[in-house]
Amino acid sequence: MNIPGVRLLVPLALLGGMAGASAVFPPAACQIGPVSSSVMTYQVPTGARGTLNFRVRCPAGQTYVVRLSTPEGPLLGANAALRFLGAGQSEAVMSLTDLPADLTVSGERDFSLSLRAEPGQWKLVGGTYRTNLEIGTEPLAPPL
């Protein structure tokens, strides 16, 4: 059974080297972008698959770690869960299926992460589902 018009979107908030950063925090040393994600159409029997792609550029001579999070907290582990909210109380569950254990950057690094919405989510209604994903960086402390 197909659910007509169910689309899963990933609006992104980028942290790190972006213009207009809050005056409370100094500008981050890394730049994040370009960022792209595929729009996925969900079908109950097969679910949906897509990708999240982004590039991180950091100054040479320092190692940084990339942090991914949603309003619910940080995304950790090989199958980090994401909750997508739709109209009313409708909710879709998705995961980043290949979140690498090594999220460090020295210089420049491209990330291509797989997104998967599990099949069998029968309670989805038609419409657009969204989640907020933050991508940020912080310096990795040098070993003592």
> Residues 90-132: pLDDT tens digits?
888 888 887 888 899 999 999 998 888 888 888 877 777 788 8
pLDDT at 60: 84
Q: Give every CB contact of residue 89 below 8 A, 6+ residues apart in sequence.
A: none
* Coil, helix or strand at residue 33: strand
Give me the residues paired with residue 92 across strands.
84
* Domains of the chain, residue spans: 2-137
Whether 32 contacts 17, CB under 8 Å: yes
Q: Give every CB contact of residue 144 below 8 A, 6+ residues apart in sequence.
A: none
Structure tokens at 35: 């960022």
**Cα 137 to Cα 21: distance, rounded to the nearest angstrom:** 14
Any idea what DSSP says for residue 125? Answer: -
**Cα 36 to Cα 97: distance, rounded to the nearest angstrom:** 17
pLDDT at 41: 82
Whether 33 contacts 55, CB under 8 Å: yes
**pTM, to two decimals:** 0.74
40 burial type by CB count under 10 A (0-12 exposed, 13-18 middle, 19+ buried): buried
**Could you read off the pLDDT tens digit of each residue along the chain, which spans 144 residues?**
334 444 444 544 433 333 222 333 344 579 998 888 886 788 888 888 888 899 999 988 889 999 988 888 888 877 888 888 787 778 888 888 878 888 999 999 999 988 888 888 888 777 777 888 888 999 987 655
- For Cα atoms 125, 92, 37, give the angle at the middle one, nearest 5 degrees: 110
pLDDT at 72: 85
pLDDT at 12: 43
